[in-house]
């Protein structure tokens, strides 16, 4: 099984996908087989009635990962809400065992797998299960992306403190 890394942010729209795509492309150009995963993507647009997870598509393209999009992004949700809320409103239940299984499948055939969260570490996948919990169960080190704006220091330090409390590196 290859290694992995979890990309999170201090907020939504801070550049997680931009960074993750750049890292994936750099690793690919350096000769690594790069797997990617976006466990849940909300705010997906539609094309011919099919949801299109734009972040997952960008990760797939940047990495050259041949894994089907449905595995890269197992939960594609229309409403731009926290995954737990969007899933509930759409009648879907996010299954953590399924996410772990998909991650293990992707990482087993790649040198490194980049997993991109949504929002920040405390965004819920289930009412009482966050992306921090997922990063911990997957045993992934975390890279935190922060916007260069007023208030960022507080957001970043809160994120790092929570990561530390959860035992994440």
Interatomic CA distance for residues 168 and 32, integer angstroms: 25
pLDDT of residue 108: 97
Record the tokens describing residue 8, joined without a space: 């999170």
Give 63's pLDDT tier (boundaries 50, 70, 90). very high
Q: pLDDT grade, residue 1 (50/70/90)?
A: low
100: left (phi over 0), alpha (psi -120 to 50) or beta: alpha
Compute the CA torsion angle 168, 4, 16, 54 (nearest 10 deg). Answer: -140
Binned at pLDDT 50, 70 and 90, residue 44 comes out as very high
Q: What pLDDT, on the 0 to 100 scale, is given for residue 62?
A: 98
Q: Is the pTM of this model over 0.85?
A: yes
- Is the predicted pLDDT of residue 55 greater than 80, yes or no? yes
Distance between first and last Cα of the chain: 20
Residues with active-site annotation: 38
- Give the per-residue pLDDT at 2: 74
């Amino acid at each position: 099984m290859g290694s992995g890394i979890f990309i999170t942010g201090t907020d939504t729209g801070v550049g997680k996908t931009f960074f993750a795509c750049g890292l994936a492309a750099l690793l690919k150009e350096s000769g690594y087989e790069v797997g990617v995963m976006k466990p849940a993507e909300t705010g997906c647009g539609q094309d011919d009635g099919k949801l299109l997870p734009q972040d997952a598509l960008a990760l797939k393209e940047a990495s050259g990962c041949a894994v089907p999009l449905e595995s890269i992004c197992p939960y594609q949700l229309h409403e731009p809400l926290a995954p737990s809320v969007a899933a509930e409103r759409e009648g879907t239940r996010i299954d953590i065992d399924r996410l772990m299984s998909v991650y293990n499948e992707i990482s087993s055939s790649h040198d490194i797998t980049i997993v991109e969260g949504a929002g920040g570490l405390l965004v819920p996948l289930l009412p009482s299960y966050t992306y921090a919990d997922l990063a911990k169960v997957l045993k992934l080190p975390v890279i935190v992306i922060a916007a260069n704006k007023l208030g960022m220091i507080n957001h970043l330090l809160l994120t790092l403190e929570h990561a530390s409390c959860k035992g994440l590196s």
